[in-house]
């Protein structure tokens, strides 16, 4: 538990001092979502219908942007080896990294999303559904993304490969996240979708750090 | 028993002994299966002649899932016991599985156009098989992404185990969701909901696909082992050349 807090603190310090990765991810998120109305037209009837899905798709891509660096910089300068040798278990390291990734990326996406919802003319209930679904869904993106980041450590063309590995695994989150917003726009209850997202989060919390640790072990040895 | 096959030379010997037989049986089964599927079975009362697409579609769907399961089992063996042949088996099986998955998607869409009136619907069964295809592609790409082949094989093994969650989703998608794709008519506890005149070609084709998989797997594994041996011989030859 202390190890986890130390790792999260270290990552946050590094992010605040040097990194612009997180800011870039949010700028990309807003910019990409703003592009869509130019492409599909600005019909105020249509935008709320497609808005939830678009915001979620762009959120997946934005969360993926900063994933590649999750372990790569530590791998390059050797601190990953030191962390591996430290008494903190690898699973804790993986959980801490994912938590820090969520705190630096997921939360910013969560704050930016309601603004985008206004641009897409989403009704008030749908904005609530968007916030709730992203609160439950974005940590899953960080946790599952950690597996991909660990697997592609040291690979040629790691970034493209990471997208190929991780995007198929993000599809369930996308389906239920966008489904909750669609339900809210259409006036249906959104409880079931949020519960499934919560289930994904619990499963990812239990299993993803373990898989990430297995992948890290292959990368270090 | 299990470690007896860890010796590549012994494996190659066994594979060479099995290969002619499995290849011959594959050809015979395909000949019989295609004969029954195209000529000796009736057209469906609803689907007409298009039902014959099923004799390719269903076996390749089974093989697409079975092949992924095979890769997952090999990955466990590779990660837990560090069995050298398990890595090679998983690496050899992945492109075969991807090919089976492409066949399922293409034949399904060819069957869907006249029957459902559309090439593609976004229902749970079709979508989860599409995800399976992407998982195969990711597995193949990850295997070849590293300078050290060992590292690629181990990373791909972890990915195969993570992606295995998709297999039960494919299997039960037709029961869990209300899909356009029909539920299973063969693999259920009571008697199969399919007439024996159609069951014969289906099972013949299923065994043909299975034997084809075994044959190609052995060919690919043997080729991979030979490539590794060639590389090792070249390296030692180069070393001797520089030493003298």
Q: Has residue B53 got a pLDDT over 80? A: yes
Alpha helices (runs of H) in A102-190, residue ranges in sequence order:
107-119, 124-151, 158-186
- The pLDDT assigned to A128 comes to 86
Instruction: Give B48's strand partners.
Output: B44
In whole angstroms, give the CA distance from residue A102 to residue B127.
Answer: 28
pLDDT tens for chain A, 221 residues: list them.
788 888 888 888 888 777 666 788 888 999 998 898 888 887 888 888 888 889 999 999 988 888 888 888 888 888 888 888 888 888 888 999 999 889 888 888 999 988 888 888 888 888 888 889 999 999 999 999 999 999 988 888 777 888 888 999 998 899 888 888 888 888 888 888 889 999 999 999 999 999 999 888 888 87
In whole angstroms, give the CA distance from residue A135 to residue A116.
Answer: 16
Q: And the tokens for B78?
A: 């590779």
> Which of B141, B154, B155 shows the shortest C-beta gap to A164?
B141
* Residue that the structure tokens 């790792």 belong to: A7
**Dihedral angle of Cα B58, B59, B60, B61, to the nearest 10 degrees:** 50
Mutate to test the interface with A, among B137, B145, B156, B167 (most CBs of A within 10 A): B145
Q: Which residue does chain B place closest to A168, by CA atoms? A: B131
Asked if B158 and A168 come within 8 Å (Cβ–Cβ), the reply is no
Q: pLDDT by residue (tens digit) across B133-177?
A: 999 999 999 998 888 888 888 889 999 998 888 888 888 777 777
- The pLDDT assigned to B74 comes to 92
Count of helix runs (H) and strand runs (E) in chain A: 10, 0
Q: pLDDT by residue (tens digit) across B183-206?
A: 766 655 555 567 777 788 888 899
Average pLDDT on B92-105 reads 93
**How many angstroms separate the CA of residue B62 from the nearest CA in chain A?**
21
Each domain of chain A, given as residue ranges in start order, spans: 2-220
Residues of B in Cβ contact (< 8 Å) with A156: 145-147
**How many angstroms separate the CA of residue A16 from the nearest CA in chain B?**
31
Q: And the tokens for A164?
A: 């190929």
Grade residue B5 by pLDDT with cuts at 50, 70 and 90.
low
- The pLDDT assigned to B75 comes to 92
In whole angstroms, give the CA distance from residue B62 to residue A107.
Answer: 42
More confident residue, B17 or B185: B17
In whole angstroms, give the CA distance from residue A100 to residue A5.
Answer: 10
Q: Has residue B103 got a pLDDT over 90? A: yes
Asked if B142 and A151 come within 8 Å (Cβ–Cβ), the reply is yes
Residues of A in Cβ contact (< 8 Å) with B146: 154-156
- The pLDDT assigned to B64 comes to 92
Mutate to test the interface with B, among A169, A192, A217 (most CBs of B within 10 A): A169
Q: Which residue does chain A place closest to B162, by CA atoms? A: A211
**How many angstroms separate the CA of residue A148 from the nearest CA in chain B?**
8
- The pLDDT assigned to A1 comes to 74
> Which of B131, B138, B161 shows the shortest C-beta gap to A165?
B138
The count of CB pairs under 8 A between chains A and B is 56
Residues of A in Cβ contact (< 8 Å) with B131: 168, 171
| ipTM value greater than 0.95 | no
- The pLDDT assigned to B69 comes to 94
Chain B interface with A: residues with Cβ < 8 Å: 79, 127, 131, 134-135, 137-138, 141-142, 145-147, 151, 154-155, 158-159, 161-163
Residue-range domains of chain B with CATH? 19-180+196-243 (1.20.120)
φ, ψ at B48 (rounded to 5°): 70, -145
Length in residues, chain A: 221
b (16+ CB within 10 A) / e for A162-177: bbbbbbbbbbbbbbbb
Asked if B145 and A157 come within 8 Å (Cβ–Cβ), the reply is yes
Q: Which residue does chain A place closest to B139, by CA atoms? A: A165
């Amino acid at each position: 538990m202390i190890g986890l807090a130390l790792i999260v603190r270290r990552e946050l310090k590094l992010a605040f001092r040097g990194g612009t990765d997180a800011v870039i991810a949010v700028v990309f998120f807003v910019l990409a979502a703003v592009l869509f109305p130019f492409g599909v037209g600005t019909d105020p009837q249509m935008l709320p219908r497609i808005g939830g899905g678009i915001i979620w798709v762009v959120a997946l891509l934005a969360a993926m942007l900063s994933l590649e660096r999750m372990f790569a910089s530590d791998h390059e300068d050797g601190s990953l080896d030191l962390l591996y040798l430290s008494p903190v278990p690898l699973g804790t390291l993986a959980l801490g990294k994912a938590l820090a990734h969520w705190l630096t990326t997921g939360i910013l996406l969560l704050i930016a999303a309601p603004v985008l919802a206004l641009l897409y003319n989403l009704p008030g209930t749908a904005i609530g559904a968007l916030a709730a679904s992203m609160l439950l869904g974005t940590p899953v993106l960080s946790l599952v993304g950690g597996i991909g980041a660990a697997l592609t450590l040291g690979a040629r063309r790691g970034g493209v490969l990471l997208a190929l590995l991780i995007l198929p695994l993000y599809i369930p989150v996308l389906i239920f996240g966008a489904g909750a917003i669609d339900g809210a726009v259409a006036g249906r209850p959104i409880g079931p979708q949020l519960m499934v997202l919560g289930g994904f989060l619990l499963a990812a919390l239990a299993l993803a750090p373990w898989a990430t640790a297995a992948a890290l072990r292959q990368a270090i040895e | 028993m299990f470690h007896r096959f860890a010796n590549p030379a012994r494996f190659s010997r066994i594979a060479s002994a099995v290969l002619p037989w499995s290849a011959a049986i594959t050809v015979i089964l395909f000949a019989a299966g295609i004969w029954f599927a195209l000529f000796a079975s009736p057209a469906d009362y609803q689907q007409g002649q298009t039902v014959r697409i099923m004799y390719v579609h269903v076996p390749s769907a089974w093989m697409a899932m079975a092949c992924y399961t095979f890769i997952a089992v090999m990955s466990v063996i590779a990660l837990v016991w560090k069995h050298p042949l398990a890595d090679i088996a998983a690496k050899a099986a992945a492109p075969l599985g991807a090919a089976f998955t492409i066949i399922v998607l293409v034949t399904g869409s060819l069957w869907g156009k006249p029957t459902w009136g559309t090439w593609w619907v976004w229902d749970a069964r079709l979508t989860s098989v599409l995800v399976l295809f992407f998982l195969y592609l990711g597995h193949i790409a990850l295997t070849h992404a590293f300078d050290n082949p060992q590292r690629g094989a181990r990373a791909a093994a972890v990915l195969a185990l993570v992606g295995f969650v998709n297999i039960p989703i494919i299997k039960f998608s037709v029961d869990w969701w209300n899909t356009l794709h029909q539920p299973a008519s063969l693999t259920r506890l009571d008697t199969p909901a399919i007439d024996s005149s159609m069951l014969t070609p289906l099972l013949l084709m299923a065994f043909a696909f299975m034997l084809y998989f075994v044959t190609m797997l052995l060919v690919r594994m043997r080729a991979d082992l030979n490539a590794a041996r060639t590389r090792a011989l070249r390296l030692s030859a180069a070393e001797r050349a520089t030493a003298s």
